[in-house]
Structure 1
Amino acid sequence: MATSSGSKSFGLRELATVLFRHKKKVLAFSLASLALGVLVLLFAPRKYRSEARLFLQVGRESVRLDPTATTGATIGLQQSGRDYEINSAMEVLKSRAVIQKTLERIGNDPDLQSDAPDINKGAAVVLGNLAVPGGGEGRSDGSNALAKAVMTPLHSAIEAVRSIDEISDQERAIIAIERNLKAEAEYESTVISVTYDADSPQLAQYVLDALLEVFREEHTRLHSTTGSKDFFASQRDELQQRVDGTMVAIRDAKNRMGLASIESRRNTLENRVSTIQLARVSAMQELQSAQAQIDRLEDQIAAMPEWMPTTKSVGPNTGADTLRSQLYALQVNVMNLEAKYNEDHPLVQSARDQVDEAKRLLAEERDERSTTVDAVNPNRRELVLSLAQTERSRAGLEARVAEIEKQEAEVMAMLQQLNGYEAELDELERQHEIAKSNLIRYEQNFEQARIDEELDRQRITNVNVAQQPTLAQKPVSPSKLIVLGLSLMLASVGSLALGLGAEKIDTRIWSQEHVERGLDLPVVAVLPESRAYGTIPRGP
């Protein structure tokens, strides 16, 4: 008779009944699960972990820029702001380039007994195919021959799967290091914890030690600029030549200008200008005073007569006597002409006119004549002499003013020329100062580059190994607690699932409740369980 084993209510009692009903299966599965855990603990490959700690102190890589940078020689740094530096260091540590150089470093170990290329020898060491120098096998598959025998088929299966997409041993070694390498740092901490897992403690320590050496070299290389020393040396020599050239140009310019110092020459010319201006003011004052005196003398001379009478005498007028003699002679001549010519004759008329004119002149003449003797006015003469002297002084003052103005113009021209010289010398001195300051800066940068190169050559960096790679003999996997926990979980959960599944697919009738629920009919009688009756066969 076929019936369903489902029920409308299912409690702990029914669950216990089901598990007890299938106790053999449940017990077998539980034992198998525990046995599997034991096998894993006995024969699973061990993983050993080597741990190292790196301390990134504040050093030249943290607080400086390369001398070739244009933002300055140093940058500010706060301790709380170094997260970027820690993260960058961890990224470099886990980079493929560092891992590949680690394989080369391992392969360069002279203690490795192999004729393969360096990087292939490093890959063989990482993959456990070549013994680690100094003792220890590359791969550990257990502690006895039985474990090795058990793991051999597993390794063969793994190799068969890998052969599907065949890759080189070098690539497999890089993938293995990437998978087993861990680097982490606590928040606001400058200590980086680096771990590497391998099949033996010696291999884990050996690989991690080589990795840290390569990382420190790469960290130093990344924080240096190749060729900066030669660059600054060439720039320094070029700037030295420029400084020497500007010094020669300044010297030649001063020799051509005929001066030693602009300031001293300017002071001399300014003193001369002041002296000349004072002299010009004094001369102008004297010239104005002289002109005023000349005007006053001219006014006095104009108001004063040039001559002054000294004596006066009275005597006969000899001129009147002479005029009378001439009149008598003219009258005689008229009488002679009238005797010869008639009265209308021109000669007669002309002679008569001469006689009339002589009579008129004679009538105007006095019989006595007074004579006065005049002499030069001495006062006026003194004034004239003073005027001449003052005019000479004025002429001298005018010549003096003209000479002073000429000298002032010459000095001002010299000052203008000096200003041009000053602009020329200032430009030369500015070029000299720029070249000199650049030379000093490049000298400092060259010295800094030389120091950095020497520090890099001696591998002095701010990455210090706070803890060397450890040699831990205790494996980190498989974990006994985890394997035991998983075995117990698998035994319990698997047994429960197995019991319920077996109950689900079982069609046999185990109780009168099964009959009543399956047929929906009441049970009238129950036959006792006995060997004589056997078991009720299963329905189709």
Structure 2
Amino acid sequence: MPANGYSNCHLWERSRQKMRYQSYESPITLLDILSSIFRYKWRAILVSVLMFVLVIAGIILYPKRYQSEAKLFVRLGRGSASMDPATVGQTIAIQESRETEMNSIIDLLESRTLAQRVVDDIGSERILRKYAWLERNLEAVSDTISGLTGPFVSQVDGETNMPEIRPAPASDALGLDASSDGEASSEQVTGPGQVAADSEVEAETMAQPADAVDFDAEMRKRYELAINEVGENLRIESPKRSTTISVEYRAREPRLAQLVVESVIRNYRNMHIAAYQSQGALEFFDNQFDQQQELVAASEDELRQTKNENDIVTVRGKQEELQTALTDVRKMQIATDAELDAMLARVSELKASMQNLKGEIVSQRTSGIASNASDSMRNRLYELEIQEKELASKYVSTDPRLQRVREQLRDARQIASEQPKEREQSVLAINPVRQKLENEALTAQSSVAALRAKQAALEKQRDGLLSQLASLNQLEVDSQDLERQITVARDNYMRYASKLEESRINAALDENALSNVSVVGAPTIRYRHVSPRRSLLALVGACFSVVCGAMVAILSDYGRNARELSVIRRAEREAYLRRLQDSRDILEHPEALESRQQRLGTAHTETAPTEPRLDERAADTPDNSSDDDQDGADALRKAK
């Protein structure tokens, strides 16, 4: 009985350990995941909240991007339907699809040359300027790291002696002159002079201070970064079977995005015009036109000289007409001279008559006009008479005051008696006869000036007629050879004139940036950012936070299970070693079996009420006993 108790207790313990070991090695189910999350729910909630806060902070600090968009419409214009003025001879029609033209336009819009022109137009500093707090701090950290590692990098660069690549201007990238859009410059071709210039530039660069060289390298680096920035954020899209092109650009500020799109359209139109230009056609036709013009003039001069030398006049009617006109002019000159003499005599007579006439005469006289001075004097006389009567009634005749008043009265009466009784007023006016003579003299002088001018004009006209009569001899053709030369020269002259005019029209259209690419939608400016999409990112961040919390809970439970599994394995190893030792002790000392069975039976009796039944465990796990347990049981039976 004790041996049976020891065996049952041992088998129950082994089956319990096997069940736990197999539960750890079984596949993870959804119930295990939920139990792990529930077991570490507070840890999962804390991690989820922290991750969501970090996601929200990242969304807020993430740099905003603003988008500007423009629409281009490619119509069938002179670039694809017209003929090059330099084309001569017979031509054949070539069918070229619009898709090829659209692909070419998109390729030019996505080219690095266009991006380089945009950077030259706007500036690398404006394009690379940071506005977000996160970008500014990251740039500051990058500058700090570059400052710490700068000397070492400079030393490595000096040891490698790698040649520096300097960014060329946008106009040089196409081999075009910067002074004119699309015109080729012969100075762009590399030759001995160009090699010498490069050597001089390299020598000047080597002679510059180290700080200046580092500054130039930094500027070139930022220039390349700006070009890459434009190329990465510029999107060119065109639907299939459509002639519209969408130009989109995303930047850190709305105005910058609009400026870049405007610069892209402006520079592309120049590139488009330059691509369809016939280089040097205008200069060629201009030179040929001048040469043919000189040839025609030389032939005509030779013909004119021949007629003048031989005094040849073939246009008889023209000669008679000129002779008649010359006779009329001479008659008019004679009549003009007579009129001029008569008018001069009239002017002299009028001047003599004006000298005998006065310039002003009395036109009106008025009498009986009141005088303010006489009236005032008479009033004063009345006052003195009244004063003399008052003093005579008061004083004697010898009184000095009376005598003084009487003396004043006597003087006043004398002055009043001397004044005229009536007053006359005269009005002077210009002599109308003299004025009329002066007007006639002025008119006569004007007629004299007009007759003299007419005389000069007739003289000039006579000289002109004589000159025309002399030039008439230059219109005769001396020989058929000269006529043939003139005819051929004029034909070539007209042909080159037509080609030159076509080239000038194309040049004028190119100068005014007129092409078959039209801007149907101007670059827009949107003050609402298009990136990042905060609502979508917040939703994704919330899901990511929940997943992170669940993963932390699962990993925490997995770590706990791993620790328990290691403890179980160590306990199994110790139990196995202990069983081997017990089996060896039983074989060597059989008398110790009784005491051990009693001890195990007592322990089994004490623990039986609290431990589950072995038969129930065995029913649930019928094959949980191992070969080691069976060997232990056989060893116990043999020992018994």
More helix by share: 2
- Higher Rg: 1
Task: Give TM-score, length-normalised by structure 1.
Answer: 0.49
